[in-house]
């Protein structure tokens, strides 16, 4: 084909060719890109996940008690500025705070801002700080810091821990709990739903009853009962894995049901019969022929079930049965806002709540967008 | 008729079987909780100053029947549970049936009202969302139902409570005013209850409504594109009549089918909302039993009663569906 004489038809043809030979993934991506809100949600999600993963670098201080600022308890967020009455500076700075209490402050500890020139704390980037391990290598550089003292852009909590550091670490923890939970739920759903749908008949009836039984027990009370076993002597890591496993063990039913319904309708198709006649084993037929027919649906379902895992973790931690304080999870952060004192005096405790809502919303938007994109008839219906 | 009674019998048997399986799971869970009733009781005596020995624990175990094999204890527990006898609470040392009493029915009432609220709002709104071509309306409905998911009930409850405490001086908590808390049921007490119950019902219904709107919308938009709807439209049926007589009927039957599980979802939220709003009903007792005192007898009884109500509701909706839909009657297991 000569592309000098008729470029326009060729380009057109190439487009058509590309459309007809596109893999399912490419088609889904094309449809997904057109959905603006889902795309925005995906960006937010990617940013949040990355900032969770790189939280040791992005946060200036350790999120546990080791990184506390003794001189700045319940401190308000410090916003870096460039100018004040003493003139401007190229480098942004915050002020030094001094804690005091007196009759004037009703004997509450309050932090007083010292705005003199020598009290400025200048922002530094890639500054040296507490050592942390990432991918097994020790680092001590953090994205930002100040030249003397500490900086808290989201303020501090009652023990002086930096809320910004805690929030990013919490996003990471909650995502990790969700990931482990979703993975366990996914394998259970695949195994149970797959067997149930492939064999049908009696096997299906028995497994369906099992699924319905698990679905009948109210989740949160069940979580609570399971979490109540956790002895107080367990370390926070053990507790963390236990909670993730529990979330996974209970969350598989919806996906299992969906896989089963799909397999039930799909197993009588000719291509399955052909594979069986060729002597393929059931496991092979399920894995190589049936599952690929709805991989996209499974992925969509996993994304959709993610926020539920995070919500369950939050609810559990919120009532004090999930993760506990040395671990930072979104549930632990939300637990901190439960008093009128916080609402009246320490509103910056609510910053993690915003992160939580944005995270869940982003997941819901992406999940919905993926669901619409994965539907091959979405275009023809409209 | 014969077909229907056969369906009824199979369903009833399945319901009881499910309940027995659930009871086994619940009972096993309660067994796994570290320590048993005897130890707890003796520990309580110890805290009162009397000296105790391992023999005392053993005697107490024999008295409570805890020395019998696991399966045997489960069988006697389940037989008693079906008769409404749950034994004594480990910690509080009172009869559980008496302790729970009307508290459980209050909780069930709250959840059912929330469920009703959710569907009264969700069915019309969901149908409108599915049929309307108005982008602004659709997007705003979508945002509201997303928020229903992203703003969990406990957070909402907390916000409302804190704001009302701070700005109105009334915490809006509890289910009764002080003077009615232990009074007998009377007209005044009912009014007082309703005056307090709207908030938990609203909060419990909040995410349920959002969820139900999504479901109704999805089911409706699936049905609307089908050929029978086009055919009906071609025959000259239009407007609301078309929607109500054709797609809505089909779209709503899976919803009726899942009402039991919706109740389950609302029950899930109840303990946490109860904790925040300090409701004195079964949800808060459950938290108390599980999180604070490890009272396995009480927790087991509450979870069993919850699941029994869910199974019962599932059974009732199955029967209603079978009455209205002959296809379901024919498929006995389906």
Range of the domain at A349: 166-373
Residues A195 and A321 in one domain: yes
Is residue A292 domain-resident? Answer: yes
Q: If you average pLDDT over residues B162-170, what whole number do you get?
A: 71
Distance of CA B264 to the CA centre of its chain: 4
Number of domains in chain A: 2
Nearest CB to B22: which of A205, A216, A357? A216
Report residue A283 as tokens: 């496991």
pLDDT of A191 over the 80 cut:
yes
On the question of pLDDT at A51 being above 80, the answer is yes
pLDDT at res. B92: 66
- State residue A2's pLDDT score: 46
β-strands A81-84, A120-134 pairing: unpaired
Which region among A181-190, A287-296, B169-178 has the lowest average model confidence (pLDDT)?
B169-178
| Whether A292 and A172 share a structural domain | yes
Asked if residue A27 is part of any domain, the answer here is no
Residue A25 domain flag: no
SS3 letters across chain B: CHHHHHHHHHHHHHHHHHHHHHHHHHHHHHHHCCCCHHHHHHHHHHHCCCCCCHHHHHHHHHHHCCCCCHHHHHHHHHHHHHCCCCCECCCCCCEHHHHHHHHHHHHHHHHHHHHHHHHHHHHHHHHHHHHCCCHHHHHHHHHHHHHHHHCCHHHHHHHHHHHHHHHHCCCCCCCCCHHHCCCCCCHHHHHHHHHHHHHHHHHHHHHHHHHHHHHHHHHHHHHHCCHHHHHHHHCCCCHHHHHHHCHHHHHHHHHHHCHHHHHHHHHHHHHHHHHHHCCCCHHHHHHHHHHHCCCHHHHHHHHHHHHHHHHHHHHHHHHHHHHHCHHHHHCCCC
Residue at which a domain ends, from A161, A182, A216: A161
> Is residue B35 scored above 70 in pLDDT?
no
**Is the residue at A48 inside a domain?**
no
Q: Which of A19, A379, A365, A359 is nearest to A170 (CA)?
A: A359
Judged by average pLDDT, the poorest of A134-143, A327-336, B198-207 is A134-143
Chain B contacts of A360, Cβ < 8 Å? 149-150
pLDDT computed for residue A241 by the predictor: 80
CA–CA distance, B259 with B256 (Å, rounded to integer): 5
Task: Give the A window 156-195 contacts with B, CB below 8 Å.
Answer: none
At residue B29, φ and ψ (nearest 5 deg) are: -60, -45
**What pLDDT, on the 0 to 100 scale, is given for residue A381?**
45
- Residues A89 and A141 grouped into a single domain: yes
Looking at the structure, tell me whether residues A207 and A351 fall in a common domain.
Answer: yes
Residues 6+ apart with CB under 8 A from A151: A60, A78, A80, A94, A121, A123, A144, A145
Q: Quick one: pLDDT band at residue A113, thresholds 50, 70, 90?
A: low
pLDDT-based confidence at B290, cuts 50/70/90? low
Rounded mean pLDDT of A26-37?
78
pLDDT in tens, B189-220: 666 677 777 788 888 888 788 888 878 887 88
Distance from C-alpha of A254 to C-alpha of B196, rounded to nearest angstrom: 35
Task: Note whether A136 and A207 are same-domain residues.
Answer: no
Q: What Rg, from alpha-carbon coordinates, does chain B have? A: 24
Which residue on chain A is closest to B166 by alpha carbon?
A340
At residue A193, the pLDDT reads: 85
Which token pair is B264? Answer: 């389950």
> A55 or A22: which carries more pLDDT confidence?
A55
Is residue A266 included in any domain, yes or no?
yes
Together in a domain, A124 and A245: no
> Which of the pair, A360 or B196, is modelled with greater confidence?
A360
CB contact under 8 A, A321 and B271: no
Q: Which residue has the higher pLDDT, A51 or A341?
A: A51
* Model confidence pLDDT, tens digit, residues B236-259: 877 777 877 778 877 777 787 778
Residue A36 pLDDT level (bands cut at 50, 70, 90):
confident
Last residue of a domain, one of A143, A161, A179: A161
User: Looking at the predicted structure, is the pLDDT value of residue B86 above 60?
Assistant: yes
Could you tell me the pLDDT band of residue A68, with boundaries at 50, 70 and 90? confident
CB-based contact B307 A228, cutoff 8 Å: no
Mean pLDDT of chain B: 76
Q: By the 8 A CB rule, do A101 and A110 touch?
A: yes
Residues A310 and A184 occupy one common structural domain: yes
Binary contact (A343, B306; C-beta < 8 A): no
Using the predicted structure, report yes or no on whether residue A382 has a pLDDT greater than 60: no
> Is A365 in CB contact (< 8 Å) with chain B?
yes
> Does the distance separating the beta carbons of B271 and A319 come in below 8 Å?
yes
Instruction: Reply yes or no on whether the pLDDT at A375 is more than 70.
Output: no
Both tokens assigned to A139: 């680092």
Report the range out of A14-23, B184-193, B196-205 with the highest average pLDDT. Answer: B196-205
Q: pLDDT tens across B3-15, in order? A: 778 878 888 888 8
Residue B64 has pLDDT above 60, yes or no: yes
Substitution target in B154, B173, B257 with the highest count of A β-carbons within 10 Å is: B154
Is B291 within 8 Å of A318 when comparing Cβ atoms?
no
Q: What percent of chain B has pLDDT over 70?
A: 74
Residues A342 and A365 in one domain: yes
**A174 and A307 housed in the same domain:** yes
DSSP A280: -
Average pLDDT over chain A reads 76
Residue A14 confidence (pLDDT) above 80: no
pLDDT band at A1 (very low <50, low <70, confident <90, very high): very low
A320–chain B Cβ distance below 8 A for any pair: yes
CATH number at residue A284: 1.10.3720.10
Distance CA B315, CA B312 (A): 5
Give domain status of residue A22, yes or no. no
What percentage of chain A exceeds 70 in pLDDT? 76
* Mean pLDDT in residue range A107-132: 68
Beta-carbon contacts of residue A368 (< 8 Å; ≥ 6 apart): A38, A304
pTM, two decimals, is 0.78
Domain boundary among A161, A188, A214: A161
A290 has a pLDDT exceeding 60: yes
In this structure, are A223 and A330 located in the same domain? yes
- Residue A54, in any domain of the structure: no
B312, B108 contact by CB (below 8 A)? no
**Within a domain: A49:** no
What is the model's pLDDT at position A181?
86
A254 and A315 inside one domain: yes
- The predicted pLDDT at position B280 comes to 62
pLDDT at A151 over 80: no
Task: Kindly state whether residues A209 and A304 are assigned to the same domain.
Answer: yes
The DSSP symbol for A289 reads I
Are A217 and B303 a contacting pair at CB < 8 A? yes
So what's the pLDDT on residue B150? 75
């Amino acid at each position: 084909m000569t592309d000098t004489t008729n470029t326009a038809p060729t380009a057109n043809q190439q487009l058509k060719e590309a459309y007809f030979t596109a893999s399912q993934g490419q088609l889904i991506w094309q449809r997904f890109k057109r959905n603006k809100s889902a795309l925005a949600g995906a960006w937010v999600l990617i940013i949040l996940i990355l900032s969770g993963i790189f939280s040791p670098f992005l946060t200036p201080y350790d999120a546990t008690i080791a990184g506390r600022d003794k001189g700045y308890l319940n401190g308000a967020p410090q916003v870096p500025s460039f100018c004040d009455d003493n003139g401007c500076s190229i480098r942004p700075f915050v002020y030094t705070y001094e804690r005091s209490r007196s009759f004037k402050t009703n004997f509450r500890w309050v932090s007083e801002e010292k705005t003199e020139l020598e009290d400025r704390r200048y922002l530094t980037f890639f500054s040296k700080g507490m050592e942390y391990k990432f991918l097994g290598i020790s680092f001590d550089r953090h994205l930002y810091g100040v030249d003397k003292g500490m900086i808290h852009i989201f303020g501090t909590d009652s023990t002086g821990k930096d809320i910004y550091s805690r929030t990013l670490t919490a996003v990471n923890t909650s995502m990790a709990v969700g990931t482990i939970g979703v993975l366990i739920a996914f394998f259970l759903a695949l195994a149970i739903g797959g067997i149930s749908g492939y064999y049908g008949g009696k096997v299906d009836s028995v497994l369906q009853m099992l699924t319905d039984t698990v679905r009948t027990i109210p989740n949160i009370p069940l979580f609570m009962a399971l979490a109540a076993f956790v002895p107080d002597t367990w370390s926070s890591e053990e507790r963390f894995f236990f909670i993730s496993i529990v979330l996974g063990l209970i969350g598989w039913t919806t996906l299992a049901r969906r896989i089963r319904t799909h397999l039930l309708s799909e197993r009588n198709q000719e291509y399955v019969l052909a594979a069986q006649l060729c002597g393929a084993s059931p496991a092979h037929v399920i894995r190589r022929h049936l599952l690929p027919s709805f991989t996209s649906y499974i992925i969509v379902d996993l994304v959709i079930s993610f926020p539920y895992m995070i919500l369950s973790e939050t609810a559990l931690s919120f009532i004090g049965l999930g993760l506990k304080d040395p671990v930072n999870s979104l549930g632990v952060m939300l637990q901190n806002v439960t008093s009128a004192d916080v609402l009246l005096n320490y509103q910056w405790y609510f910053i993690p709540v915003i992160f939580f809502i944005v995270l869940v919303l982003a997941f819901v938007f992406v999940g919905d967008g993926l669901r619409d994109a994965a539907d091959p008839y979405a275009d023809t219906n409209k | 008729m014969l077909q229907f009674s056969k369906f009824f019998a199979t369903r009833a048997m399945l319901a009881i079987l499910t309940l027995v399986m659930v009871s086994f799971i619940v009972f096993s869970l309660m067994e796994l909780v570290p320590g048993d009733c005897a130890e707890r009781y003796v520990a309580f005596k110890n805290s009162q100053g009397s000296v105790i020995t391992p023999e005392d624990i053993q005697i107490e175990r024999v008295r409570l029947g805890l020395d019998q094999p696991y399966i045997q204890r489960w069988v006697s527990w389940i037989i008693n549970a079906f008769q409404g006898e749950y034994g004594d609470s480990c910690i509080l040392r009172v009869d559980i049936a008496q302790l729970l009493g009307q508290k459980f029915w209050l909780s069930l009432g709250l959840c059912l009202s929330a469920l009703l609220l959710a569907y009264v709002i969700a069915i019309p709104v969901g149908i409108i969302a599915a049929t309307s071509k108005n982008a602004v309306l659709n997007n705003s409905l979508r945002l509201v139902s997303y928020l229903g998911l992203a703003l969990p009930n406990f957070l909402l409850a907390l916000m409302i409570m804190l704001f009302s405490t701070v700005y109105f001086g009334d915490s809006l908590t509890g289910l009764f005013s002080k003077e009615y808390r232990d009074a007998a049921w009377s007209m005044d007490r009912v009014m007082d209850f309703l005056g307090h119950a709207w908030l938990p019902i609203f909060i419990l219904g909040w995410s349920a409504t959002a969820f139900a709107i999504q479901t109704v919308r999805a089911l409706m938009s699936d049905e609307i594109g089908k050929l029978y709807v086009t055919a009906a439209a071609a025959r000259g049926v239009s407007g609301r009549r078309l929607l109500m007589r054709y797609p809505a009927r089909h779209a709503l039957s899976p919803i009726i089918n899942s009402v039991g599980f919706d109740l389950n979802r609302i029950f899930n939220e109840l303990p946490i909302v109860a904790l925040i709003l300090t409701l004195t009903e079964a949800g808060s007792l459950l938290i108390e039993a599980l999180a604070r005192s490890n009272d396995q007898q009480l927790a087991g009884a509450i979870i069993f009663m919850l699941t029994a109500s869910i199974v019962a509701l599932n059974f009732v909706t199955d029967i209603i569906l079978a009455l209205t839909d002959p296809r379901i009657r024919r498929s006995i297991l389906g």
